[in-house]
Amino acid sequence: MKKLVAVMLSLSLVLVGCVAVAETATPQVELTVFAAASMTESLNKIAEMYKTVAPNVTLVFNFDSSGTLQTQIEEGAEADVFISAGKKQMDALDVTASADANPKAQDLILPDTRFDLLTNTVVLIVPEGSTKDITSFEDVATDKVSLIALGNSDVPVGQYAQDVFTSLGLWDQLNTDKKITFGSNVKEVLSQVEAGAVDCGVVYISDAATGTGIKVVASAPAGSHKPVNYPAAVLKSAKNEQAAKDFLEYLKGADCSKVFTDIGFEIPER
Amino acid sequence: MDWFPLLNSLRVASIATVITFLLGIWAANGITRLPRALKGVLDCILTLPLVLPPTVVGFFLLKTISPKAALGGFLLDSFGWKLTMTWYSAIFATTIVAFPLMYRTARGAFEQLSPEWEACAATMGLSRRFIFWKIKMPNCRAGLLAGTVLSFARALGEYGATSMVTGYIPGRTATIATTVYQLWREGNDTLAYRWVMIDLAISMIVLIAVNLLEKRGGRQYAGSAN
């Protein structure tokens, strides 16, 4: 027993030593970016590019559904930048938003740093080689589809999908038929379609572009859902406000716009 | 209130418990007769799901039984069996995750039984089957029951692997665990609290049962296998 304690103690000393050495290295700015799961590929690519632009900045990403990120920020997660795939999740943290959109009057972002970074298109996808002949959102209510993957009501793409099916008058029927499996973010929906576990799913066109073994069969009918905006802002809790602002500025540039448009995002007028 | 998650959880956990009960005892009884090296390796593999994150179990399961995986695709094409995104998909996940608890507890119970008894019975010409059913099983009853209750509790509480292979289809695959997660995500705290209370109540009952069984058995079972 004594021996074991001695071993554990010396091991922890060694570990503490390692940490101490690491901390004395060149001072680096670490920027924590909370971003919608649909931005995973594009932001990872941009992070590589940003290394040459600002070598002293290390970008740390947390990708998840915007609703999850919103909750994490509300619960005090340390982050510098928030990029949401929905207006709703950003509004809930923005003190300048209407009382309806921000009922708790939370003041967690710097409103003057907020802008709409991207827009996106909502599409219906099926596994490649699917023989079910699904070609439209209306088909989902027919016998061709026994299971569809959607984001839950907390995930922006889930809300947009609900908008689409509601405007087609199919939402209640899909629920009564128990045809929907609810994923907790857009990448989960994509994985389920890729794995062929479901007949189809609703994602953004930018996710469809990064998926493998899937096929886009339809875009959401015009006007069937709220516009898909990606608002970005610096958070009040940012430890490096200037570095965060610089990064958002960089995202507006032509280099980044190309990365975004390459996989299907669109750049809004601003 | 829709009671489906409770019924589904109980259904999945009960079936998984029956399977782990049989498999666990079979493995625990069989492994003692194996050569030492093989025994060590097998023991490791059989206990692995206890220490692995359930998401790893879920990942392996998906890579095996999902429609685009080799085995899953074969079963779907030849028999029309779809093994993911159904309520019974959860049985695979929970069985694997709960198995080590049954196996290790059963093994502990068997090993605490004095080996002389078995040897003695054997010298009297009793068959191995007789020894197993009439000597080992009755004498290890409390330990085996405790293992069963623990497995049931684990199966009931499993979330990670289950959510990966069943998704969350309200009224079809939802369990208490996945329902609580979704309700929290949707900000429906009132209903989430209700399910949390139900789950707490079930868990308390299960734990009290384990304690009673262990007291009655008068020995320590869980974790005593080495």
pLDDT in tens, A214-233: 999 999 998 899 889 999 99
Coil vs helix vs strand at A132: coil
Cβ within 8 Å, pair B167-A192: yes
Alpha helices in chain A (DSSP H): 2-23, 40-53, 66-74, 87-91, 156-167, 171-176, 186-194, 205-210, 241-251, 254-262
Q: Are residues A208 and A127 in the same domain?
A: yes
- Chain A and chain B share a number of CB contacts under 8 A equal to 58
Q: State the CATH number of the domain containing residue A112.
A: 3.40.190.10
Q: Are residues A69 and A157 in the same domain?
A: no
Of the ranges A26-30, B60-64, B114-118, B187-191, the best mean pLDDT one? B60-64
Q: How far off is chain B from A196, nearest CA to CA, in Å?
A: 6
Q: What is the DSSP secondary structure assignment for residue B133, as one 8-state letter?
A: I
Q: Are residues A192 and A254 in the same domain?
A: no
Q: Does A145 touch chain B (CB under 8 A)?
A: no
Domain ranges (residues) in chain B: 4-217
What is the domain count for chain A? 2
Q: Check whether B202 has a pLDDT greater than 70.
A: yes
Q: How far off is chain A from B36, nearest CA to CA, in Å?
A: 27
A98 lies in some domain: yes
Give the pairing type, strands A81-83 and A229-234: antiparallel
Q: Are residues A172 and A51 in the same domain?
A: no
The H or E element containing residue B166 is helix B160-166
Q: Which amino acid is at A130?
A: S
Coil vs helix vs strand at A151: strand
Q: Is B165 exposed, middle or buried (0-12, 13-18, 19+ CB in 10 A)?
A: buried
A21 lies in some domain: no
Q: How far off is chain B from A195, nearest CA to CA, in Å?
A: 6
Interface of A with B in 53-82 (CB under 8 A): 65, 67-68
A44 lies in some domain: yes
Q: Is A10 exposed, middle or buried (0-12, 13-18, 19+ CB in 10 A)?
A: exposed
Instruction: Please answer whether residues A75 and A67 qualify as being in contact, where contact means their C-beta atoms are separated by less than 8 angstroms.
Output: no
Q: Check whether B225 has a pLDDT greater than 50.
A: no
Judged by average pLDDT, the poorest of A72-76, A124-128, A233-237, A253-257 is: A72-76
Q: Check whether B36 has a pLDDT greater than 90.
A: no
pLDDT band with cut points at 50, 70 and 90 for residue A11? low
Q: Are residues A36 and A100 in the same domain?
A: yes
How far apart are the C-alpha atoms of A184 and B162, rounded to whole Å?
14
Q: Are residues A164 and A41 in the same domain?
A: no
Return all residues near A93 (Cβ < 8 A) that are at least 6 apart. A70, A73, A74, A82, A102, A106, A107, A108, A109, A235
How far apart are the C-alpha atoms of A150 and A202, rounded to whole Å?
6
Mean pLDDT of A152-173: 93
Q: Are residues A167 and A33 in the same domain?
A: no
pLDDT in tens, B107-128: 999 888 878 888 888 888 888 8
What ipTM was predicted for this assembly? Answer: 0.70
A133 lies in some domain: yes
Pick the CATH number of B4-217 from 3.30.559.10, 1.20.1440.230, 3.40.50.2300, 1.10.3720.10: 1.10.3720.10
- The structure tokens listed for B74 are 């074969």
Residues of A in contact with B179 (CB under 8 A): none
A4 lies in some domain: no
Return all residues near A10 (Cβ < 8 A) that are at least 6 apart. none
A201 φ, ψ (degrees, to nearest 5): -160, 165
Which carries the bigger pLDDT value, residue A56 or residue A9?
Answer: A56
Return all residues near A103 (Cβ < 8 A) that are at least 6 apart. none
Return the residue matching tokens 């789950």. Answer: B199
Return all residues near B60 (Cβ < 8 A) that are at least 6 apart. none
Residues spanned by the domain of A174: 122-219
A127 lies in some domain: yes
Q: Could you tell me where the beta strands, DSSP code E, fall in B75-173?
A: none
pLDDT band with cut points at 50, 70 and 90 for residue A15? low
Q: Are residues A65 and A100 in the same domain?
A: yes
Q: Are residues A85 and A160 in the same domain?
A: no
Q: Are residues A57 and A188 in the same domain?
A: no
pTM of this prediction? 0.77
Q: Which of A65, A181, A194 sits opposite B167 (nearest CB)?
A: A181
Q: Are residues A212 and A164 in the same domain?
A: yes
- The structure tokens listed for B27 are 């493995």
Judged by average pLDDT, the poorest of A5-19, A170-184, A233-247 is: A5-19
Q: Does A127 touch chain B (CB under 8 A)?
A: yes
Q: Which residues of B196-221 are buried (b: 16+ CB within 10 A; e: fewer)?
A: eebbeebeeebeebbeebbeebeeeb
Give the pairing type, strands A229-234 and A57-64: unpaired
pLDDT for res B132: 87
